Amino acid sequence: MEQAGITIFTGVFIAVITSWLTVQFSLKQFRDQKWWEKKANTYERILEALHKSKKFSDEHLKAEYTNRDVKEERNNELRKQANESREEILRAIDVGAFYLSDEAVQILKKYDADTDDLASLDTWYEYLDADNTICHRTLEKLIVIAKQDLKR
């Protein structure tokens, strides 16, 4: 009888420990998955903002190459998108640093500093060309970093 009690107790004990461990592993996996989703969403928002910002200089450069003007309505729309994008990127530097790798944050800080320096350029064409280069370079670097960071 005593042996049966020990066997039942051991079985129950093992079942409880196994259940507890299973729940802990499941919760860890759930938290890791949610964390990954938030990181991926943060990178996605920043990449989208950079794309929209680059669109401004893309369209204006194309207009310059073909000796035409961007229509005022389209120009205003592009400027609005570029301003909103810049705000998203600045927000990512401050808040997104919680999810982003340190390397990604440094690239965004460099983007901010480089775009601040654009005001010192002499011509509209130089401004557009430099802005386009900065956006393109930042996009390329950030895509590589995002892929590496999200694989971990």
Q: What mean pLDDT do residues 7-17 have?
A: 82
Q: Please give the pLDDT value at position 108.
A: 95
Q: What is the pLDDT of residues 78-122, one digit of tens each?
A: 999 999 999 999 998 888 778 899 999 999 999 999 999 998 999
Q: Please give the pLDDT value at position 1.
A: 67
Q: Per-residue pLDDT for 144 more than 90? A: yes
Structure tokens at 29: 């996996």
User: Largest Cα–Cα distance in the chain?
Assistant: 98
Burial of 54 (0-12, 13-18, 19+ CB in 10 A): buried
Q: What mean pLDDT do residues 40-58 have?
A: 94
CA distances from 33 to 19, 26, 37, 49, 95 (A): 21, 10, 6, 24, 20
Percent of the chain with pLDDT over 70: 99
Q: Per-residue pLDDT for 4 more than 80? A: no
Q: Per-residue pLDDT for 152 more than 80? A: no
Q: Per-residue pLDDT for 145 more than 80? A: yes
Q: Which residue, among 98, 112, 111, has the nearest Cα to 137 in the 3D structure? A: 111
Q: Which residue, among 131, 139, 60, 147, has the nearest Cα to 107 in the 3D structure? A: 139
Polymer length in residues for the chain? 152
DSSP tag of 121: -
The rounded mean pLDDT for the chain is 90
Q: What is the pLDDT of residues 57-70, one digit of tens each?
A: 999 999 999 999 99
Structure tokens at 14: 């093992």
Q: Which residue, among 88, 82, 84, 87, has the nearest Cα to 42 in the 3D structure? A: 88
Domain-wise residue ranges, the chain: 35-151
Confidence band for 14, pLDDT divided at 50, 70 and 90: confident
Q: Per-residue pLDDT for 11 more than 90? A: no
Structure tokens at 21: 């461990």
Q: Please give the pLDDT value at position 112.
A: 94
What lies within 8 Å, CB to CB, of 105 at 6+ separation is 93, 96, 97
Q: Per-residue pLDDT for 29 more than 90? A: no
